[in-house]
Structure formats: C-alpha cells, structure tokens
Amino acid sequence: MSQQVKIDTEAVRALAELLRETDLTEIEYQIDSLRIKVLRAAPQAVVPVSMDSVVAASGRGAKESESKVIAETPPVELEKHPGVLAAQMVGTVYLSPGPDAKPFVSVGDTVSQGQTLFIIEAMKVMNMVKAPRPGQIKHIFVRDAQPVEYGDPIVIID
C-alpha cells in the first residue's frame, strides 16, 4: 500500500518566492526524508538592437537614460567575442564599490591591466575582479547586484 504524502504548500510558496526574489532558477530544500525541489524557467531576454548600438549597464541606481550606448555587433555575437571576461565563480556581481558610488568602469572606458572592474560576492567574501589586460570596455553584460554563474560573460575588453 502506498503512503500518502501531504505537500506543504506554504513551504513550496516560500521557496518559489525566494526564487523570484533572488533571480535563481532552481532551489532544493530537504528535512529528513521530505525533499522539495522548485524549478522555474529562466526568462529569455530578446532585445532588439541595431548593428551600431547596444545598451550597457551603468551601475547601481542608474536610470535607463544614463546608460551608455556603443557596439558594432548584435548581442548574440557579443558572447562569442574573444575579449569576453567571464565569471570565475558563482556569486553576486557588483559594478561599484558601494550603493551610492559610481561604477568601477563604464562602456567606453579605457582600463589598464590589474584595474578593478567589478566585485563578485561569493559566500560573504568580496572578490575584486581585475582587468587581465589593458583595453577598452566594449560591453557590460550584467546589471548591478545580479547573480552570476561560473562562466557567465560579464564584460568585453577589446
């Protein structure tokens, strides 16, 4: 005879809300033999872009009108660009040193090797991410306080 399992709908709702708040796509929770796994499809962003413009994030609290516009290829091609700097860890990306501070870099800025580009917070540790080479910031893929996975493109340095 099979055992009837009572589903804790409040726990499922709380986990779903946590997914939404943190912009995660999957969460799993287990107590003893009861395991709840909640998944949601990641939103697929479709951004119409002309060949000569791409909007890049300009930092914490920035208004849409403050975003910088430059680029020469559509976003689909940008992720394959040889100058892409990808996340080296899972965490939350911060584009500026503090909530009211200006971003470390913006699209169009020239950076030197070793210059701080952004911070990735992982397990309550702030990891400064430095430019691996000199160049110009061509595109910023993330917005401030966005969760990132290992290998996610963050910025293009050309």
pLDDT, one tens digit per residue, over 138-153 is 999 999 999 999 888 9
| 94-131 confidence digits (pLDDT tens) | 999 988 899 999 999 999 999 999 999 988 889 999 99
Predicted TM-score (pTM) of the model is 0.52
Q: Where in the chain is the domain with CATH 2.40.50.100?
A: 55-157
Please name the fold of domain 55-157.
Answer: OB fold (Dihydrolipoamide Acetyltransferase, E2P) (2.40.50)
Quickly state the pLDDT bin for 44 (edges 50, 70, 90). very low
**9, 10, 34, 35, 96 from 6: Cα distances, Å:** 9, 12, 10, 12, 46
Give the C-alpha separation, 133 to 152, whole Å.
19
- Region 46-59: what's the mean pLDDT? 38
Nearest CA to 63 out of 117, 137, 144 is that of: 144
pLDDT in tens, 63-80: 444 444 444 444 446 677
